[in-house]
Amino acid sequence: MNRLTTILPDGAAPVPAPIAPAGPVPTSIAIITDAWHPQTNGVVRTLSTTCEVLRRWGHEVTVISPEGYPSIPAPTYPEIRLALTAPGAVGRQLAKIAPEAVHIATEGPLGLAARAYCLRRKVPFTTAYHTQFPDYIARRTGLPAAVFWPYIRWFHRPARAIMVATETIRAQLREQGLAHLTHWSRGVDLSCFSPAAPPPPEYAQIEGPILLYVGRVAVEKNIEAFLACDYPGTKVVVGDGPACASLKARFPQALFLGKKTGTELAGCYAGADVFVFPSRTDTFGLVMIEALACGTPVAAFPVPGPLDIVTDKVGALSDDLTRAIDAARYCDRSACAAYGASFSWEAATRQFLAGLVALEEEEAVSLQAFPAF
């Protein structure tokens, strides 16, 4: 018999069948992630916002993250810290928390430790595929992506459910032999991201059209494809990262505004003519729906993420990024804003809850039966 009770938000609209929980909803949830604050990226924003919504609904959420652990910089990406865990440290935390559901969000050291502990205890858990990990590592190492897919298959195969954000990624993982896939979309903070957000003062001093990139400034984001494309106007980069200095040197005509958040970030979106998303390694691209919510059309390559989000009414996809930018400029900005506003964090969080696996009584007892070695 399951020990859980259902908590859903007061006054919530009926949940459509595809995202309705199949059974009782966990009230106590452990999320294990190697990506967390102070990192700024889509994974961190997704997890932190999901936690905020869950807590607002009355759920108890504990995040096991690199905070509190000694860490080392990730090879080729020092802004990301890799936690150094003593044997059994994550297991001790899980045993102490005694959650009713375990979700492993990333494939790093903490995720590995939680996976090992749950497998030893025969405790079910869920995972998520947030990043095109094989392509990401391939860009940084020069090795083919195929070298890294065996690790992805090995890591995720024992999960009771693997959460994915788009149908394209679902199909890709199926081709890799991974089943038990469930949908977990993304949302937009509509109290912040809207067409009314005031543009930054720098926009008044530059030549239009204004073409904008927002995100990590790193090799896997393929920003040079955006900055090198031959299109009139001014290219603006918002964000920071290890490739910032080299790109500034190579493309001095571009405007680099650094990291922006909240209404300042929203204004950067709202004041731009086109949002350009050059990445080929993202599974979703949260920044795209933020831009759309601000009324800004999207230009991107026809790859996973953009293929699932961008329609002809709100942007353009092409292997020639210049052509995509030119086509996107003719999109109706009011249609972009309406489409972006359709992405709700509340709906996405219901999908997350629906994908979790609630522990049975004997599984909960096994989870807490520490020590672990």
Helix (H) or strand (E) holding 345: helix 345-355
* Residues 335, 208 within the same domain: yes
| 103 occurs within a structural domain | yes
Query: Average of pLDDT values for 234-260?
Result: 97
Looking at residue 146, which CATH number applies to its domain? 3.40.50.2000
pLDDT tens column, 127-174: 999 988 888 788 778 899 899 999 999 999 999 999 999 999 999 999
Output the CA–CA distances (angstroms, integers) from residue 14 to 252, 341, 346, in the order listed. Answer: 52, 19, 12
8-state DSSP, 126 = E
Asked if the model's pLDDT at residue 72 lies above 90, the reply is no
| 286 occurs within a structural domain | yes
* Residues 31, 179 within the same domain: yes
pLDDT for residue 142: 85
pLDDT for residue 73: 78
pLDDT for residue 313: 98
Asked if the model's pLDDT at residue 13 lies above 80, the reply is no
Domain count, the chain: 2
* Residues 232, 361 within the same domain: no
CA 293, CA 344: separation in Å to the nearest integer? Answer: 11
| 6 occurs within a structural domain | no
Peptide bond into 209 cis (omega under 30): yes
Asked if the model's pLDDT at residue 22 lies above 50, the reply is no
CA 56, CA 48: separation in Å to the nearest integer? Answer: 12
| 11 occurs within a structural domain | no
pLDDT for residue 9: 37
pLDDT tens column, 321-360: 999 999 999 999 999 999 999 999 999 999 999 999 999 9
Confidence of residue 5 (pLDDT cuts 50, 70, 90): very low
Confidence of residue 370 (pLDDT cuts 50, 70, 90): low
| Percent of the chain with pLDDT strictly greater than 90 | 79
pLDDT tens column, 249-279: 999 999 999 999 999 999 999 999 999 999 9
Average pLDDT of the chain is 90
Contact 249, 272 (CB under 8 A): no
Find the domain containing 230 and state its range.
Answer: 201-342
pLDDT for residue 363: 93
pLDDT for residue 21: 45
* Residues 224, 265 within the same domain: yes
* Residues 312, 229 within the same domain: yes
* Residues 143, 245 within the same domain: no
* Residues 325, 212 within the same domain: yes
3-state secondary structure of 170: helix
